[in-house]
Amino acid sequence: MRKPILLLLTLLILMTQTGCWSRIELNDVAIVTASAIDLAQDGKYKLSVQILKMKMTKGISENGSSSENVTLTLSAKGDTIMEALNVIQKKIPRLIIFSHNRVIIVGEKLAREGLAPAIDFFSRHREARGNSYLLTTRGEAAELLKVPANFEIFTGEEMREEEKARLLDSASIRDFIYRLFEKGIEPTSSQMQVIPLSDPNGKPAKEEEMGLGLVGVGIYRKDKLLGWMNRSEAECLLWLRNRMKSSVLTVAIPGKDRQPGRVSVQLISAKTKYKSKITGENIQFEVAIKMTGELFENSTKLSIKEMNNLNFLQHALEKEIENRVNMTVKKLQTQYKSDVIGFGNILHRQHKSDWNKKYATLWEEEFPKIDVKTKATFKFIGTGRVNESLVEEEELEK
């Protein structure tokens, strides 16, 4: 009988020895779904958090309408993020938790000044997720939080879903920090903007017609934003980094006669291999891209029943891929001088001693000088339901 009593006493003592009790009921937390950091005029950080209003979400699940705003956006300024958060915390009666914060948006101004001090909070905070996506936007980041969600319950989820689809190069906080510290590779982050849903040029008539869209990728050197890459260049980055999930490639086929056509393919896989060679002062990279795709649209007169035509198309696509890769790499080398693809990293792996001796410290200067040769191979794995080109068939009937 002594033993169980002793055991029980030990347990009771143990219970009182714990420091803080992290128990908190769900009714007492404010769940942050997205946060935005901007640099204010006076050099302070402006933190905006999007918090879920639970009562409203219940209304939605019962009524099925989403016209009402279910989230609350709170902002505060502070010398550090924590200080700003503290100000926000005092505005609401519930404890703010960051464990479901899936998106962190950074304004352009702050990004150009340097992100590291701002994201330190998110990498250090026990609650914050390493896999939250880091987004950059032109202008104020807080603006994005105000856009009403079109499909999900709240905007944060919509942003996350969009990032998850990996249509453009995405980066989580963890990725970003990893690439920040890794030598021979520079970080990127997706660029998200408020864009009109219907009209790509004109201004939307109503506010509801605005949506969030990924428009490109922000290129960084260290933690400072240098500039943006547009959609097609950003897609190219995905291929080069072996992270493509699916993408579309369109190529114009000049054609033998006057009427040029276009061919669109759905890319199914893209695999890139790098081979580096050091000859004297020169560094050469051979980039071999292997892609497969399915033909989705063919407005040329070429019938794909013919093996020759198929080969011709494949060749044209290969050329296009090579062109786009070359252009992207060139832009990185000349305009930004930032190695976001990670050529340095590859060199480090393939020529360890040379890298350690020579290039490790000088890579920023060395990168614009490297010679990149691209070799693409494209293979059709499907041509769709139709064999003959519709364009050609019409002509045959005449």
Partner 1 sequence: MAPNGQGDSTAGNDKLSADLDTNLKQFQAVFDKCGDIQYRPFELNEALLGTFIFLSGLGNINAVNMDLLRNAIESSLIEQSEALTEDIKAAIHSKLGFTSQTSWSDDFQASVDKILAGELAVLLDGFTSILLLNVKELDTRSIEEPATESVIRGPRDGFQENISTNISLIRRRLKTTQLKLEMFTAGKLSVTDIAIAYLEGIAEESLIAEVKERVGRIKIDAILESGYVEELIEDNSVSPFPQVMVTERPDKVVGNLLEGKVAIIVDNTPFVIVVPGTFFQLLQTPEDYYQRYFVASAIRILRFIAVVSSLLLPSLYIALTTYHHEMIPTMLLISIASSRETVPFPAFVEAMLMEVAFEGLREAGVRLPRPVGQGVSIVGALVIGQAAVAAGIVSSPLLIIVSMTGIASFLFPSFQLGLAFRLLRFPMMIAAATFGLYGILMLMLMLLLHMLHLQSFGVPYMSPLSPLRAGELKDVLYRANWLKMSKSSKSRG
Residues at the interface with partner 1 (CB under 8 A): 15, 22-27, 29, 31, 33, 52, 54-55, 57-58, 61, 97, 99-100, 102, 127, 129, 153, 157
Sign of the Cα pseudo-torsion (251, 255, 259, 265, in order)? negative
Q: Please tell me the distance from the alpha carbon of residue 12 to that of residue 82, in angstroms, as a whole number.
A: 36
Residues comprising the chain, all counted: 398
Rounded to the nearest angstrom, the gap between the alpha carbon of residue 258 and the centroid of all alpha carbons in its chain is 41
Question: Is 162 or 186 the residue whose CB approaches partner 1 more closely?
Answer: 162
Q: Is residue 26 classed exposed, middle or buried when 0-12, 13-18 and 19+ CB atoms within 10 A define those classes?
A: exposed
CB of residue 127 to partner 1, shortest distance in Å: 7
Question: Is 18 or 308 the residue whose CB approaches partner 1 more closely?
Answer: 18
Question: Is 160 or 179 the residue whose CB approaches partner 1 more closely?
Answer: 160
CB of residue 245 to partner 1, shortest distance in Å: 21
Question: Is 101 or 338 the residue whose CB approaches partner 1 more closely?
Answer: 101
Question: Is 102 or 348 the residue whose CB approaches partner 1 more closely?
Answer: 102
CB of residue 120 to partner 1, shortest distance in Å: 20
CB of residue 36 to partner 1, shortest distance in Å: 18
CB of residue 23 to partner 1, shortest distance in Å: 5
CB of residue 356 to partner 1, shortest distance in Å: 40
Question: Is 133 or 363 the residue whose CB approaches partner 1 more closely?
Answer: 133
Pairs from 143-147 (Cβ < 8 Å, separation ≥ 24)? 143/194, 144/34, 144/36, 144/105, 144/192, 144/193, 144/194, 144/212, 145/34, 145/36, 145/48, 145/50, 145/71, 145/73, 145/105, 146/73, 147/194, 147/210, 147/211, 147/212
CB of residue 242 to partner 1, shortest distance in Å: 28
Question: Is 8 or 386 the residue whose CB approaches partner 1 more closely?
Answer: 8
Token pair 């050099």 is found at: 43
Question: Is 1 or 396 the residue whose CB approaches partner 1 more closely?
Answer: 1
CB of residue 219 to partner 1, shortest distance in Å: 30
Rounded to the nearest angstrom, the gap between the alpha carbon of residue 183 and the centroid of all alpha carbons in its chain is 21
Are 237 and 188 contacting, i.e. CB atoms less than 8 angstroms apart? Answer: yes
Question: Is 157 or 223 the residue whose CB approaches partner 1 more closely?
Answer: 157
CB of residue 325 to partner 1, shortest distance in Å: 37
Where would I find the H helices in the chain? Answer: 2-17, 54-63, 81-91, 108-113, 116-124, 142-145, 155-164, 173-181, 231-240, 307-331, 343-350, 352-354, 360-366, 390-397
**Interaxial angle between packed helices 307-331 and 231-240, expressed in degrees from 0 to 180 and rounded to the nearest 10:** 100
Q: Please tell me the distance from the alpha carbon of residue 88 to that of residue 81, in angstroms, as a whole number.
A: 11
